Structure 1
Amino acid sequence: MRHDKFPEAGASAVRGDLVTGADLLASRLAAAGATHAFGIPGGEVLALVDALERAGIRFLLAKHENAAGFMAEGLWHATGALPVLVATLGPGVANAVNVVANAQQDRVPLIFITGCVDQALAESYTHQVFDHQAVLRPLVKASFRAAPGTEDLVVEKAIALARRGRPGPVHIDLPISVAEGHVTRRPPPAVPKQQPAIPADLSAAREMIAGARAPLVIAGLDLVNQDGAAALDRFLTLTGAPLLTTYKTKGLVPENDPRVIGGVGLSPRADAIVQPLIAAADLIVLAGYDPIEMRQGWRHPWPTDKRVIDIVAEDMPHGMHGATLRLEGDVGAILTLLAVGEMPNRPWPANEPDKVRSQFRAAFAASAAWGPHAVFATLREAAPAGTVATADSGAHRILLSQIWACDRPRGLLQSTGLCTMGCALPLATGAALGSSRPTLCFVGDAGLEMVLGELATLRDLKLPVVIVTLVDESLGLIALKQRQMGLARAGVDFGATDFAAVARAMGGHGVAVEDRGSLKREAQAAFRREGFTLLACRIDAESYQGAF
């Protein structure tokens, strides 16, 4: 879709073959699949915003740069569109640091473009000026500063780096004179098509798989980012291996499939159930497993003599676990090539995977009592098929990630590497923007209070997101940790907010809920409503005690 609101306007006006530097940059982003850019404009990025719109990339205003970055990520999950975040110099850049760090740890190919003053001016002009690149370099795969004649080059490099191996954020600092300056229109540089990386010799891995009597697969984030669902399904079918997933990998194989044991990552209760299965396996295949999602309990989860094939998009020293054999490249393509020839597909001794799967389901089954279990179970029943859910960080996320069943990849979006609060609402906004699928946001009251302004963004975009807020007036997970450590309760309690009233004041529908029947009725109505709905579910924080 093109947006021609600003033809021939201001600094963007062109003569013949002349365009602005911002036009070159915007056209390359559009060619790479960017459909939207998110952020808050300032004087230093106005030429860029203008160029983005004219290149067919819709610029969307958020209330905070951090939320804008999560909206870009949510859209990427929903559509695959290149995620783009725009910030002006100084405070705009500083506000975005958290979401850039999240993109690094959650493997998001975020293109972060910041406006900046020209270098000569920066030598004497200090208002709002600091070294953006120095701040961001530890958090990004690369940081570029565009110069005249390099506008399209730095974008091509940034996109390639952001998508290569394990995805991650790349930063471009765009000086005002470069964005507004006129240059001759140039054809895009020739970009060679990248072939999937596959190790030359897979014979050792094939031999290990063929000899396995009790293989186990643990799938992770790399496999999701490389769209490896079909390859994983085939590998499980041919080997007979049961499957454990990280939270981000839920739904890569539908979780009602009997081969799927469940999701692991942050729950000591879940870890205790699956540990005997890990111990009994005579071969573990790590299919794109990225330990950045895992808690400390997943350090050295198997002995050094365990036979382990570690298939990764990009080999990174981490020290979290050992492996007998490590294969680097396209995880799905490698799995496909391994699933040939003589495959074991023998039943495990004593049918152990089925027993563990039954224990797993029983451990996180919903009780009859009102509480977070009941909220999640009721919403799972009420949510239409294909619903995309998002989860904020906190106690509710750990429990939800254990019991919320996903029937497809990217069906439960969350921050698992950085585990940052305030992500769920903007993730849901981006996902809803890019998809016609129903969208459901789970967030605690503290997390929602961090991003209340983004309810206005939902209103302005007219997105029918259903927001479920767990109201307990505390930082439940931190309070639980204080108790476990024998510490006095401090800094975890806050006052009551009438979230239903806030939702109505922000242009949506809001209602307080305190029982299953009301929640079911309100949820069903919410999924039919055009605008956003906020369901404030009051629970007792003590409900999380021993739940995960």
Structure 2
Amino acid sequence: MRHDPIAAAAVIGTAEEAEVTGADIVAARLAAAGATHAFGIPGGEVLALIDALERAGIRFLLAKHENAAGFMAEGLWHMTGALPVLVATLGPGVANAVNAVANASQDRVPLLFITGCVDQALAESYTHQVFDHQAVLQPLVKASFRAAPGTEDLVVAKAITLARRGRPGPVHIDLPISVAEGSVPRRAPPPLPSLGPAVPADLAEACRLVARAGKPLVIAGLDLVKEDGSAALERFIARTGAPLLTTYKAKGLLPETDPRVIGGVGLSPKADAIVRPLVEAADLIVLAGYDPIEMRQGWRNPWPADKPVIDIVAEALPHGMHASTLLLEGDVDIALSRLADALPAERSAWPGGEPARVRARFREAFAPLPAWGPHAVFETLRAVAPAGTVATADSGAHRILLSQMWDCDGPLQLLQSTGLCTMGCALPLATGAALGSGRPVLCFVGDAGLEMVLGELATLRDLRLPVVIVALVDESLGLIALKQRQMGLGRVGVDFGSTDFAAVAQAMGGHGVTIADRKTLERETIAAFAREGFTLLACRIDAAQYEGAF
């Protein structure tokens, strides 16, 4: 059904003599705010809402698990900016979604999580599937509301505003059955509060620090991605001559073929060791939307306390991971643009040429290897994938190496969970991205992560989405096994049996093939991108090849 916010808003128009349900009010407000899809699993307590969503032009999509549904909503939001909506019924539906809500909090996703619940009076004596949703979710969301009769539109408007304001994040709405199904007069919705840009108050000191820096360094993170700050970042880099490091989430803010881009850092000890001398030599570090939530423990206090550091953040968040000289709170892209404007002209920096040498060492460290293995898989796929391909990566050893090898020529071309680093995210992220992007979508996942979400292959089948899934099959939790070896511990709880993923894909309505060499991978990938349905390429590798790779 085509989404039409104006038509949706008319559901709660001005004809006072007619009535609609509370669910209609909620659905119309979501549609007017830009929601195009909602994801979840129906239950009796949310049936009125799901019906209202469809009539408001918001397509409800059935997933096989609420956790996956949350990641589908995120994937769609990354591609289209549509308000992400997750719907769950009471009790187990809410509990199943907790991981996706926690991920939305740590990865800055403005997820609207709407749950059905029984009326308060009934809950006093009826306990089947009943627990306090708000108490469970409170540590994970920016706010939690319980709608009451007559407050439906107000609650949703507040939730949308909070979800998008400052650092985006999830907001929860508990919708009692009587509120969703009850009749209310039609009424025109009040406008959403303005979300004008938050401009840092005083940039004078920041301008002085930037103007006198001869070796500036920029580290960009996920808050700049959410503001689509590529243009502002490019202007600032050009004016200052600073090289760029990014977190994994911020890969592609500038094309990684750009010689000013060193690479992604944060989870690879090898990468971090290579860039450490650059961090030490810099006489000014500008943190552009950088949040250390994406970084491993090695990024605690990565520079001395007296290093000049400008920390530009969407919203101040005490974390204790590093010190800064100057904190600027507000829209990161506006701050970067104004700092760039304050400089007289583009200038050269780093007269000793250190960034170029570090970039060369970085590239050499993660160069493809000739033997078959994860390096060969990533190199082959990068060469074959069409221009503009959106890739997703699950958590595990493969993600760390992939994030070093996979070049992005634009933002949001490698989607992953970087704050929570949760397994099982890549396939549903790819599903949501394929719904909204109109671009080729490639999903990288380990065999353990894939087995967590095998049911979502049926979701791909039902939605007829041509996602190409690349499973790295090594029959182990490779990253955990690697950590066990490094700690001198026994190998326990990391090995599992073999699954015929090609057969599973065929049984679930897709195409599947097992692969163990470059030539076959290249041929099958080309065919997969031309296929209408989903394809699963099960690439058998040896987990030992990750040793020393990152």
The alpha-carbon deviation at position 185 of structure 1 amounts to: 1.2
1:166 lines up with 2:150 in the alignment: no
Aligned residue type for 1:334 = A
CA separation in 1, counterparts of 2:437 and 2:284? Answer: 39
Matches within 5 A, 1:97-496: 97-340=98-341, 341-342=343-344, 345-496=347-498
SS in 2 for 1:321: coil
| Per-residue CA distance 1:288-336 (angstroms, 9 max, x = gap) | 0011100000000000010000000000000001000000000000111
CA separation in 1, counterparts of 2:180 and 2:280? Answer: 58
| Per-residue CA distance 1:131-171 (angstroms, 9 max, x = gap) | 00000000000000000000011100000000011110000
8 Å Cα contact 1:241-1:345 kept in structure 2:
no
8 Å Cα contact 2:166-2:330 kept in structure 1:
yes
The match for 2:91 is: 90
The alpha-carbon deviation at position 201 of structure 1 amounts to: 1.5
| Per-residue CA distance 1:80-124 (angstroms, 9 max, x = gap) | 100000000000000000100000111100000000000000000
SS in 1 for 2:430: helix
SS in 2 for 1:138: coil
The match for 2:65 is: 64
CA separation in 1, counterparts of 2:3 and 2:240? Answer: 51
The match for 1:46 is: 47
| Per-residue CA distance 1:245-279 (angstroms, 9 max, x = gap) | 00000001010011100000100000000000000
SS in 1 for 2:418: coil
The match for 2:511 is: 509
CA separation in 2, counterparts of 1:345 and 1:66? Answer: 48
Structure 1, unmatched stretches of 5+, are: 5-11
The alpha-carbon deviation at position 477 of structure 1 amounts to: 0.2
The match for 1:9 is: none
Aligned residue type for 1:506 = M
8 Å Cα contact 1:213-1:344 kept in structure 2:
no
Structure 2, unmatched stretches of 5+, are: 5-11
CA separation in 1, counterparts of 2:412 and 2:241? Answer: 24
The alpha-carbon deviation at position 192 of structure 1 amounts to: 4.0
Aligned residue type for 1:124 = S
8 Å Cα contact 2:16-2:185 kept in structure 1:
no
The alpha-carbon deviation at position 420 of structure 1 amounts to: 0.4
Percent sequence identity is: 80
The alpha-carbon deviation at position 448 of structure 1 amounts to: 0.2
CA separation in 1, counterparts of 2:452 and 2:330? Answer: 39
The alpha-carbon deviation at position 188 of structure 1 amounts to: 1.3
8 Å Cα contact 2:21-2:183 kept in structure 1:
yes
The alpha-carbon deviation at position 344 of structure 1 amounts to: 6.8
Compute the RMSD of aligned alpha carbons: 1.3
The alpha-carbon deviation at position 25 of structure 1 amounts to: 0.4
The alpha-carbon deviation at position 338 of structure 1 amounts to: 0.6
CA separation in 1, counterparts of 2:445 and 2:215? Answer: 39
- Give TM-score scaled by structure 1 length: 0.97
Aligned residue type for 2:358 = V
Aligned residue type for 1:387 = T
Larger deviation, residues 335-344 vs 465-474: 335-344
CA separation in 2, counterparts of 1:523 and 1:449? Answer: 22
Larger deviation, residues 344-353 vs 310-319: 344-353
The alpha-carbon deviation at position 17 of structure 1 amounts to: 2.1
Aligned residues: 540
SS in 2 for 1:197: coil
